[in-house]
Chain A
Amino acid sequence: MSEQTQAGVFGDFGGRFMPEALIAALDGLDVAWQEAMGDAAFVDEFETILRDYAGMPSPLYEATRLSEQVGARILLKREDLNHTGAHKIRNVMGQALLTKRMGKKRVIAETGAGQHGVASATAAAYFGLDCTVYMGAVDTRRQALNVARMHLLGATVVPVESGSATLKDAINEALRDWVATVDHTAYLFGTAAGPHPFPSMVRDFCRGIGDEARAQCLERYGVLPDAIAACVGGGSNAIGLFTAFLEDPDVAVWGFEAGGDGVETGRHAATIGAGRPGVLHGARTYVLQDDDGQTIESHSISAGLDYPGVGPEHAHLAASGRAIYESVTDTEAMDALALLARSEGIIPAIESAHAIAGALRKARELAAEKGPEATVLINLSGRGDKDMGTAIEWFGLGDPDRVTAEPVGEPPEESAP
């Protein structure tokens, strides 16, 4: 079989680099997933759960005040309104339903910000599965609310102290668990990365984001957007949005990575922008690494984007030029968070704030070129409740001496009369 046609290979990226001990499980998962997706009853049950339990389809919302400020039509795909507060529920309900179909009783998951952990704990409660979530110790401290949610939902949360004690180390620890328990345990992988079949499977469980958004946009406006945008950490929300539009050549595709303190400082998580091709967590992709191939720690204010790898299909979309990836700094993201809060009454997840910041920057250019009819569709992948601790610190909201009558952040510019 040539590499070009091999399952799970995206151009020069993807594939499978895993211990032999897990290959049989990955092959079994691949077969089970493909059979399930070909089974109308499975697909119907998945769609029913998403609709009745998780609140899909999520609305497509025209952000009029934001649109006025930018001079282009800004559409927000409201994944923040989903059950558990982010797009992640789509992926876990799919994988957990598949777990049930495969007859396994225990699930494990890794989580960065905690959103995937909460979603996994939710799915485990829904299906009556035993659930263990691995989370970097740095992240359990900065996402205490989500840890509490997981506990309430009945999951065991294991803080991971090894390595940099963040998402990548949580993945390592989950893989170590899986090597020992693979006969009865399913690994609910949280993003469209890792070894085949995870990148393709997670994409397909999340692709409702783009399928819905494309249909909603056409129905309401009769045209496709000029551009679509999403934040990219591992890349599940982004690939979930992008997939429906990849065959639409006139739709520009933008992904925004976490620029941290700025890519030039070295303290960032801009894997595509500043990484080099390599192998991490079972796939060939872009990796933040040194000359010896050691992974370099990533940095971002957003735990969910703080990952030194990226899903291999994004690596391919970047290399082929079909999608454009840029970075957004912590400051730009937090400014966008405040802007969206005050312009639209929506407090986004800090991850999603990266998409807002990057998309508005590009939308201004697009508006200058195409005028106010220019339409940009942004995936608002999650809500900001989990990030209030970070926001309190960033904006100085928690210090009683600094409380003022004035709101925080950049006030929206007044639109011209």
Chain B
Amino acid sequence: MSGPSTRTAFDRAASEGRAALMGYYPAGFPDVETGIAAIKVMVESGVDVVEIGLPYSDPVMDGPTIQAAAQQALEGGVRIADVLRTVEAVAATGVPTVVMTYWNPIDRYGVARFAADLASAGGSGLITPDLTPDSAPGGGQAWIAAAEEHDLDRIFLVSPSSTDERIAMTTAASRGFVYATAVMGVTGARDQTSDLAEPLVRRTKAVTDLPVGVGLGVSNGDQAAEIGRFADGVIVGSAFVRTMLEGADTTAGLRALGTLTADLADGVRRARR
């Protein structure tokens, strides 16, 4: 059985008059067990949806922070089975848990097989940064069919450069929520959020009833509050990873992670006050 759709977390947040907080963290960083512990801290401290990164050798959308973490995870020998084990441990907390992955690992593993294994681990779906619904041959349509069969969310990305036609096509193929990339650029915490985000959310919401989450660049509660004013969800990744990278030791890292998460969770709560 797949986990609950990410939609449920958005609906709950909306009923509380706030945006949902989504946290990204790569599996296997710095090792599988510590990674699971880190994500559990994020959940306990207020993350509404968890995105578990599947470390990949050629991550073209990732900035230096997440690249470094993924490379460390791969050098530590993380496998897809470990990613699924992480999903299982996190999903057991009840929070909707999705995997964010480049396409080739899924393609190699087998699309149908991965969908089945993700669902039985309690996962809720996939975010696919280099797979669009029209990626072919053997891409978007294969994934959509497998996701249908296993009742999984398929979260595609829209970008400030997307045409209205593409936003309509992409949202029509999506389930759960739509991932809006707020900046033109790779992942990474930024000092200022982008002014490209709000118009993109507006264009996206014009053609879909799905919740829209905004990612790329958010690193603190104030930024989360800013984005939370107009988006249904605020996605944070590199800031979490950086916190663990910079922690003096695991205990200190986990403690700092809890503090950061609480700040962000407060940010999405004060956004619309």
A96 within 8 A of B: no
- CB–CB B185/A279 < 8 A: no
Interface size on B, residues (CB 8 A): 46
Chain B, residues 169-204, CB within 8 Å of chain A (1/0): the string is 010000000000101111000000000000000000
Kindly state whether residue B259 has any CB partner on chain A within 8 Å: no
Residues of B contacting A14 with CB < 8 Å? Answer: 137
Q: A23-B162, A182-B184 are in contact. Are A168 and B157 (CB under 8 A)?
A: no
Residues A23 and B166 in contact, CB atoms below 8 Å apart: yes
Judge whether B132 and A23 touch: CB under 8 Å.
yes
Report the minimal beta-carbon distance from A174 to chain B, rounded to whole angstroms.
9
- Also in contact, A19 and B157, with CB within 8 A (given A163-B71, A292-B80): yes
The chain A residue sitting closest to B60, CB to CB, is A175
Interface set, chain B 31-62, CB cutoff 8 A to A: 56-62
Residue of B nearest to A24 (CB): B161
Residues of chain B within 8 A (CB-CB) of A22 are 161
Bound state CA distance, A295 and B130, in angstroms?
16
A212 to B12 CA separation, bound complex (whole angstroms) = 67
CB distance from B264 to the nearest CB of A (A): 24
> Does chain B have a CB within 8 A of A34?
no
Residues 272 to 329 of chain A near chain B (Cβ within 8 Å): 276, 278-282, 284, 287, 289, 291-295
Query: In whole angstroms, what is the CA distance A3 to B130 when docked?
Result: 18
Q: Interface readout for B72-116 with A: 1 if CB under 8 Å, 0 if not?
A: 001000011000000000000000000000011111110000000
The 8 Å CB contact of A292, one of B59, B108, B132, is B108
Q: Given B104, B131, B134, B137, which contacts A287 in the complex, CB threshold below 8 Å?
A: B104
| Complex Cα gap A15–B186 (Å) | 23
CA distance A183 to B132 in the complex (A): 20
Asked if residues A292 and B185 are in contact (CB atoms below 8 Å), the reply is no
Q: How far is the CA of A3 from the CA of B136 in the complex (A)?
A: 7
Contact A179 B58 (CB under 8 A): no
Chain A residue, CB-CB nearest to B162: A20
Q: Which of B103, B106, B109, B158 lies in contact with A20, CB distance below 8 A?
A: B158
In angstroms, how far is the closest chain B Cβ from the Cβ of A176?
5
* In the complex, A25 has a CB within 8 A of chain B: yes
Contacts of A183 in B (CB 8 A): 161, 184
Q: How far is the CA of A104 from the CA of B104 in the complex (A)?
A: 32
Q: Which residue of B lies closest to A9 (CB)?
A: B137
Interface pair A292/B186, CB less than 8 Å apart: no
Instruction: Check A21–B59 contact: CB distance below 8 A.
Output: no
B8 is an interface residue with CB less than 8 A from chain A: no
Question: When A182-B161, A276-B108, A278-B108 are in contact, do A17 and B131 touch as well, CB less than 8 Å?
Answer: yes
Q: CA of A289 to CA of B109 in the docked complex: distance in angstroms?
A: 11
Contact B184 A292 (CB under 8 A): no
**B29 at the A interface (CB under 8 A):** no
Q: Chain A contacts of B251 at CB under 8 A?
A: none
Q: A292–B67 Cα gap in the complex (Å)?
A: 18
Which residues on the B side are within 8 Å of A287 (C-beta)? 104
The answer to whether B6 has its CB under 8 Å from any CB of chain A is no
User: What are 23 contact pairs spanning A and B, CB under 8 A?
Assistant: A6-B137, A15-B135, A18-B132, A19-B157, A20-B157, A20-B159, A20-B170, A21-B160, A23-B161, A23-B162, A24-B163, A176-B60, A179-B184, A179-B186, A183-B184, A276-B108, A278-B108, A280-B58, A292-B109, A293-B104, A293-B108, A294-B56, A295-B57
Q: Which residues of A contact B (CB under 8 A)?
A: 3, 6, 9, 12-25, 162-163, 168-169, 172, 175-176, 179-183, 276, 278-282, 284, 287, 289, 291-295
